[in-house]
A and B are shown apart, each in its own frame.
Chain A
Amino acid sequence: MVTTRNVYVHYGEKPIVKDFSHLFKEGKIHTIIGPNGSGKSTVFKALSRLLNHKSGVIEINETPINLYQPKSLSKILAVLSQTNHAPSDFTVRDLLRFGRTPHKRFFEALNKEDDTIIDWAIKITHLEALENRRVCCLSGGERQRAWIAMNLAQQPKVLLLDEPTTYLDIQHQFEVMELVKHLNQSLNMTVVMILHDLTQASLYSDEIIVINKGEIVCTGTPETVLTTELIQKVYNVNVEIGRHKSGKPLIVPIGRA
């Protein structure tokens, strides 16, 4: 689905992401983890063309992303940014209208079909009761769902989520992660996300990509990747690893390495 080969991304002269090669498989949930400043968000910026990569190849459906028109890329790839803000009087429905942008010409109005798709996105994110509420007045978790709903209105095949659970309490974290799982299972959505919570990454990911100092350290299933040795090496912290009933690792930090 999304393939990167030997991708380098620079800020000015400084390489931030080095030799990033990975195949993000269709219909799977992938999570990128790594310490602050390791280049996780930069990988996202390169995948969504907010930053040009210096060298290497990024392909979506076997086509290099720089060959896509901006709008045709946005029909395949939707991005939930780390921080978002909507004008103070925009309702959830107003926000979702923006999701239709890539499907419209510059001055073309939305039609019935767009409304149907917006209704669908509202339903799947359980925002029916909130669609006429202002985005700014929602709780953190509801707001996050509204932005994800806008992404869904783009009808993408791939969803990039940059720290979707940061700043949320555990109830809303749980809601957002369950929504992601549901989208993945019911729509066969390919998901790539950045998470800080290793246990969350463990429970919800098919594959984890660990990066440190701009380079991939290792990749694999949560069971194979999330070991005490690796976490100690990458995060400089000792952890105890328990087991969820599914067999997935649960990570608890216990001291500095």
Chain B
Amino acid sequence: MQHDEKSRMTKRILVILITFCLLIIALLFAIANGSADFSLSEVLTALFQKPDDVSTAVVWNLRLPRAIIAIFVGANLAVSGVLLQSVMGNPLADPGLTGISSGASLAAIIIMLLFPNVYHLLSLGAFLGGAAACLLVYGLAWKNGGIRPLRIILAGVAVNAMLGGGTSLLSILNSDKIQGVLLWLNGSMSAKSWMDVRGLLPYSVLGLALSILCIRGANLLLLGDNVATNLGARVNRLRILLSGVAVLLAGISVATVGIIGFVGLIVPHMSRKMVGADYRFLLPHSMVLGGLVLLIGDTLARTVAAPVELPVGVIMAVIGGPFFLYLLRKEDRNGHDA
């Protein structure tokens, strides 16, 4: 019987490794293809020997930083979603639920439309806006010394509606200047450079490392509040801790590339199908798969309608929405819950 247990673990670890290999392949493909296509050997030469020619310029300076950002943002959003799904005890939880996206959007649009002279503070402003909205949601959800998931969800819906209204109002009042705003609101990784990578990477690595430490806690919450408490967990503290890590991950992502929906919702679902609900496997797999999915999405965004570049948020919504419905249908047919 020990054997079954071992083979199941081996299988799950294998799935994670395969996903990781696919990520590497997708990365090589992404930096080889675009307005100018390179062969694999040209890409490897550009990466490791950096000859002083156009391939280095394109691969090393344009495509690689952009791909790295796509991978880390995807990983951040997926891990953020998977943590919040544990916090809320609900598989439909998504980083947007905490108010982080709508808060960041409103802050960003205020800066872009009303204070363009501080445009260089856009990322910081978006992060602070998201964090403020999130604090508001959790503040409203706090009652009698505790936070209940349902209250977070309801407070999140209300705050999102309010802030979304503010964003729409500002867009309508400034419809002549809306172009750049639209791009940001739909998430875009165009023109990302090594500077953006340097801005994102330290926080992303920190957040992802912290998320690994949350695995036991996230699993405990799956058993419900009473059982978790009886096992010695401090449920409130655990919820706030997991939410904090999730918000950090989503916040830095939004600040770097704008709003990208669906990754935080769909990727954890796909991972659950592949490695099960145990966070020891689910969380690392979501992390890798999130990177893979967003990298593929961004590569499509760059190439599908070339030379026009689509915002990756649009791609994720257009492909992600139907795919999500497909997953739901499939679950119904198999007759078991998510």
Instruction: State how many angstroms separate the Cβ of B144 from the closest Cβ of chain A.
Output: 10
B-contacting residues, A129-151, CB 8 Å: 129, 131-132
Known contacts A71-B232, A101-B232, A106-B213: does B227 contact A84 (CB below 8 Å)? yes
A128 to B4, CA, bound (A): 13
Judged by a CB distance under 8 angstroms, whether A107 is at the interface is: yes
A-contacting residues, B224-247, CB 8 Å: 224, 226-227, 229-234
Whether B4 and A132, one on each chain, are in contact in the complex, defined by CB atoms closer than 8 angstroms, is yes
Residues of A within 8 A of B219 (CB): 98
Known contacts A132-B1, A132-B5: does B220 contact A85 (CB below 8 Å)? no
Whether A70 and B4, one on each chain, are in contact in the complex, defined by CB atoms closer than 8 angstroms, is no
Whether B231 and A90, one on each chain, are in contact in the complex, defined by CB atoms closer than 8 angstroms, is no
Residues of B within 8 A of A70 (CB): 229, 232-234
Question: How many residues belonging to A are interface residues under a CB distance threshold of 8 Å?
Answer: 35
Instruction: State how many angstroms separate the Cβ of A193 from the closest Cβ of chain B.
Output: 15
A106 to B224, CA, bound (A): 18
A-contacting residues, B252-307, CB 8 Å: 276-278
Question: Which stretch in A17-25, A73-81, A198-206, A241-249 binds the other chain?
Answer: A73-81
Judged by a CB distance under 8 angstroms, whether B53 is at the interface is: no
Closest to A101 in B: B231
Whether B5 and A93, one on each chain, are in contact in the complex, defined by CB atoms closer than 8 angstroms, is yes
Complex partner residue of B278 from A72, A94, A107, A154, CB under 8 angstroms: A94
Residue among B4, B5, B216 with the highest chain A CB neighbour number at 10 A: B216
Whether A74 and B213, one on each chain, are in contact in the complex, defined by CB atoms closer than 8 angstroms, is no
Residues of B within 8 A of A99 (CB): 231
Known contacts A98-B219, A98-B223, A132-B5: does B232 contact A87 (CB below 8 Å)? no
Residues of A within 8 A of B220 (CB): 98, 101
A78 to B229, CA, bound (A): 11
Residues of A within 8 A of B5 (CB): 91, 93, 131-132
Judged by a CB distance under 8 angstroms, whether A88 is at the interface is: yes
Residues of A within 8 A of B1 (CB): 128-129, 131-132
Complex partner residue of B277 from A81, A84, A87, A106, CB under 8 angstroms: A87
Residues of A within 8 A of B278 (CB): 87, 89-90, 94
Judged by a CB distance under 8 angstroms, whether A218 is at the interface is: no
Q: Place the interface of chain B in its size category.
A: 20 to 34
Judged by a CB distance under 8 angstroms, whether A50 is at the interface is: yes
A-B contact count (CB 8 A): 75
Closest to A108 in B: B216
Instruction: State how many angstroms separate the Cβ of A220 from the closest Cβ of chain B.
Output: 29
Complex partner residue of B231 from A74, A106, A132, CB under 8 angstroms: A74
Instruction: State how many angstroms separate the Cβ of B207 from the closest Cβ of chain A.
Output: 16
Judged by a CB distance under 8 angstroms, whether B120 is at the interface is: no
Residues of A within 8 A of B337 (CB): 88
Residues of A within 8 A of B336 (CB): 88
A70 to B226, CA, bound (A): 13
Judged by a CB distance under 8 angstroms, whether A173 is at the interface is: no
A88 to B233, CA, bound (A): 22
Judged by a CB distance under 8 angstroms, whether B99 is at the interface is: no
Known contacts A90-B278, A132-B1: does B216 contact A107 (CB below 8 Å)? yes
Residues of A within 8 A of B223 (CB): 84-86, 98
Interface string of B190-231 (1 = CB under 8 A from A): 000000000000000000000001011101101110110111
Shortest 10 CB-CB distances between A and B: which pairs? A74-B232, A71-B232, A87-B277, A102-B232, A132-B4, A79-B230, A89-B276, A101-B231, A70-B232, A107-B213
Binding site for B on A (CB under 8 A): 48-50, 69-75, 78-79, 81, 84-91, 93-94, 98-99, 101-102, 104, 106-107, 128-129, 131-132, 154
Task: Jot down 9 A-B pairs with beta carbons below 8 A, ordered by A.
Answer: A48-B230, A69-B232, A81-B227, A89-B276, A89-B277, A90-B278, A128-B1, A129-B1, A131-B5
Contacts A98-B223, A101-B220, A132-B8 known; 20 new A-B pairs at CB < 8 A: A48-B230, A69-B232, A74-B230, A74-B232, A85-B224, A86-B222, A86-B223, A87-B278, A88-B277, A89-B278, A93-B5, A98-B231, A101-B233, A106-B213, A106-B217, A107-B215, A107-B216, A128-B1, A131-B1, A154-B231
